Structure formats: C-alpha cells, structure tokens
C-alpha cells in the first residue's frame, strides 16, 4: 500500500502552490475566453473592497476545487487503481469532480448573493450571465483535470517505482531460496549420506537403488529449474516433495513418518517454490528421528485455501538456537506476493505452519 509520503499532493507546500496556480489559471483563462465581457470591462471601475472580496471568493473557490479533487484522487487510489481499472477510475473520478464543481459554484453564487454584489453575482438571466457561468464551469473543469493529471502521473510513477522495488526484493528472495537449495546440493553430508544409501541399495536391491537415483536426480532438476520462480503450482511442488520424502524415508527409515492429505482442488493453487521442502527440512533439523518414537510430519489442506505443515515436537537436547532463515524466507516472500501471511502455531506437543495458497 502506498503511504502518504508517496503522494505528491500530500505535501502541504505543494498543495498551496497548486491552489495559487489554479487561482491564476481561473482568472487568466476567464479573461482569455471573453476579455470583452461586462465583468472584465467594469472590473477596474469597482471599489478596492469589492475587488478584494471577489478575489477572496475566487481563491476560496479554487481552494475548494483543488482540495476536493486531491481528496477524491487519494481516496480512489486506495479502492480503484489506475493500473487495474483505468476506465472505471476515469469515469468515477470525473463524475465526482463534476459534482464538486457544480456544488462549489452553487455555494459561490450564494456567497455573492449574500454580499449583495449585483454586478458580479452569477445569475442566469441574460446571455452575458449565462456565458460567464459556463466560463466558470469550463475553467473549473480545467483545474480539476489538471489536478487529476498531476496526481495520476505521480500515482503511476510511484506505482512503477514500488513495482520495481518489489521485483528487486522478490529477485533477492529468489536468490536466497536458490542459495538454500544450492547449500543442500553441495552440502557434503547431504551428498555423502545419499550416495552412501544409494551404493548400499545398488548392492542389495538394484530396483530400489534405481528408484533412489531417479528421485535424487528429480530433486536436483526441480531445484535448478524452479528455485528462481516466484510461485509454482502446488501439484508440482508435491511431486518434488514426494521425491524428497522418498530419499528421507530410505535414509532415515522408520525414524520419520510422513502423511500427506491434500484435495485435488487445492493442488491447482500456488505457493512459493521449495516452501514444503524448507518446512520439512526445518522439522528434521530440530527434532529427533527415532524408530521407537518416530517424528510424524503431516501435510494437509484446510477449507480456508491454506496448507498446514505439522510435526510433533521431539526436540533435540542441547541444540543451538535456530536462526529460522528458512521460515523467515517463506514469510518475506509471502509479504511481497500475497495479502495473507503464513502463521506459526506452536504448543507443547506440536509445531504447525499454516501456508496460504495463492490464486493465479
């Protein structure tokens, strides 16, 4: 969301400049449109007090038009984006500004009447008065559209800058996720453990060894191809996770138990790549894996278009405090990609992470 600091017309000094410019434009355009109107011909013949009052009311009118137009633009920025619905935004903003213009003119006319300035009162009784009235409308519309143009240009520029910053941040997070996967790839323990298991399987069970090698290659291929993406289909992430769990089960054995229960509809939604692998890795890193009391990791979806990754707590004794880089990476990516954030739920027996699923 854009802050007020991002809005050009939120600066009071700049808004005053806009009002002064609108005031000058009002009088200049009114004169250029019809310099021989009775209003301008008799202008200097009026008293100083009358001219001062007239200028003061004109300035108040410009202030009302300017501030109203700025307020309308700022309010609509939060509800109807120029980038998403430009035609709807243009129609609504124009209509609201026209309403403000006519209301302002009606207020100004009443103020003139109260001052009993018959020579300047906007009365629609003659061709000259009608012409003068429509001149005010034209000039008011020009002022309103000038402010709309300034605020719109500023909005688009700021949106472009924010999008560029967000893209840069996403790239950085993608790099971090890729680095995490690269660490897993080059981790000598990871490689050694898996190759050791593979060599044993080839000696005693060639078919299982072949399957192990296939899943091992799938993990590397997935990481190389998808780690740089912002989001990926849950169905694809689960295929990768199945390969990862296959390796874990054959390496750790009965010390860990996986349960995956996700409906087909949820599989068509999206999430950041490597999310599930990072959470499973986090559970394995901080908990014991014992055959007598296996670490249970469950992955299931809810009715709220969210995924739960849950594990029982079997904490490793005297373990150093975790930096939480993997989970923080997921949270930061969601902060940029989606309006909902992952939730961490921990009690005495379980650790859960609720991952929102993203609609594409």
Q: Which CATH number fits the domain that encloses residue 280?
A: 3.30.565
Same domain, 208 and 324: yes
Q: Are residues 282 and 247 in the same domain?
A: yes
Question: Nearest Cα to 235, choosing from 210, 260, 211?
Answer: 260
Picking from 94, 272, 55, 63, the residue whose alpha carbon sits closest to that of residue 180 is 272
Domain that holds residue 71: 4-162
Does residue 167 lie within any of the structural domains? Answer: no
CA-CA-CA-CA torsion sign (271, 272, 278, 282): negative
Q: Please indicate, yes or no, whether residues 24 and 97 belong to a single structural domain of this protein.
A: yes
Assigned domain for 175 exists? no
In a shared domain, residues 57 and 100 = yes
In a domain, 328, yes or no: yes
Same domain, 196 and 122: no
- 168 domain-assigned: no
Residues 35 and 158 in one domain: yes
| CA-CA-CA-CA torsion sign (153, 156, 162, 168) | negative
CA atoms of 38 and 122, how far apart (whole Å): 12
134 and 218 housed in the same domain: no
As a whole number of angstroms, the distance between CA 48 and CA 117 comes to 13
Q: Looking at the structure, do residues 9 and 79 belong to the same domain, yes or no? A: yes
Tally Cβ neighbours within 10 Å of residue 98.
14
Query: Is 181 inside any structural domain?
Result: no
Same domain assignment for residues 15 and 134: yes
Say if residue 198 is in the same domain as residue 328. yes
Domain boundary at 124, 146, 162, which? 162
Is 154 part of a structural domain of the chain?
Answer: yes
Q: Write down which residue in 112, 146, 162 finishes a domain.
A: 162
pTM of the shown model: 0.54
Of 37, 24, 46, residue with least CA distance to 118: 46
3-state secondary structure the chain: CCCHHHCHHHCHHHHHHHHHHHHHHHHHHHHHHCCCCHHHHCCCCCCHHHHHHHHHHHHHHHHHHHHHHHHHHHHHHCCCCCCCCHHHHHHHHHHHHHHHHHHHHHHHHHHHHHHCCCCCCCCCCCHHHHHHHHHHHHHHHHHHHHHHHHHHHHHHHHHHHHHHHHHHHHHHHHHHHHHHHHHHHHCHHHHHHHHHHHHHHHHHCHHHHHHHHHHHHHHHHHHHHHCCCCCEEHHHHHHHHHHHHHHHHHHHHHHEEEEEECCCCHHHCEECCCHHHHHHHHHHHHECCCCCCCEEEEEEECCCCEEEEEEECCECCCCCCCCCHHHHHHHHHHHHHCCCCCEEEECCCEEEEEEECECC
pLDDT at 257: 95
Our measurement of the distance from residue 294's CA atom to the centroid of its chain's CA atoms, rounded to an integer in Å, reads: 42
Shared domain for 257 and 313, answered yes or no, is: yes
203, 114: one domain:
no
Domain count, the chain: 2
Residues of the chain with pLDDT under 50: 1-6, 117-125, 182, 186
């Amino acid at each position: 969301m854009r802050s007020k600091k991002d809005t050009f017309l939120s600066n009071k000094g700049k808004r005053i400049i806009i009002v002064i410019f609108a005031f000058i434009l009002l009088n200049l355009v009114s004169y250029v449109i019809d310099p021989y109107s009775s209003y301008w011909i008799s202008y200097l013949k009026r008293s100083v007090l009358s001219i001062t009052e007239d200028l003061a009311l004109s300035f108040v009118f410009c202030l009302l038009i300017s501030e109203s137009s700025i307020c309308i633009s700022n309010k609509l920025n939060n509800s109807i984006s120029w980038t998403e619905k430009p035609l709807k935004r243009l129609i609504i903003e124009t209509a609201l500004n026209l309403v403000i213009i006519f209301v302002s003119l009606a207020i100004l006319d009443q103020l003139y009447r109260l001052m009993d300035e018959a020579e300047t009162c906007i009365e629609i009784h003659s061709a000259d008065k009608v012409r003068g009235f429509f001149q005010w409308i034209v000039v008011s519309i020009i002022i309103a559209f000038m402010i709309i143009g300034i605020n719109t240009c500023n909005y688009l520029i700021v949106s472009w800058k924010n999008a560029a910053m967000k893209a840069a941040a996403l790239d950085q997070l993608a790099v971090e996720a890729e680095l995490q996967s690269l660490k897993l790839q080059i981790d000598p323990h990871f490689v050694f453990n898996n190759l050791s298991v593979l060599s044993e399987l080839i000696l005693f069970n060639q078919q299982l060894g072949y399957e192990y090698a296939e899943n091992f290659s799938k993990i590397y291929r997935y990481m190389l191809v998808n780690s740089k993406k912002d989001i990926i289909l849950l169905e694809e992430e689960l295929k990768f996770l199945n390969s990862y769990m296959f390796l874990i089960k054959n390496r750790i054995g009965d010390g860990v138990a996986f349960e995956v229960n996700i409906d087909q509809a949820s599989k068509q939604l999206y999430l950041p790549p490597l999310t599930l692998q990072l959470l499973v890795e986090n559970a394995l890193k901080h908990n014991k894996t014992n055959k007598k009391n296996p670490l249970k990791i469950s992955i299931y979806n809810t009715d709220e278009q969210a995924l739960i990754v849950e594990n029982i707590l079997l904490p490793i004794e005297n373990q150093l405090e975790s930096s939480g880089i993997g989970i923080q990476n997921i949270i930061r990516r969601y902060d940029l990609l989606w309006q909902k954030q992952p939730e961490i739920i921990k009690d005495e027996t379980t650790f859960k992470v609720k991952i929102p699923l993203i609609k594409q």
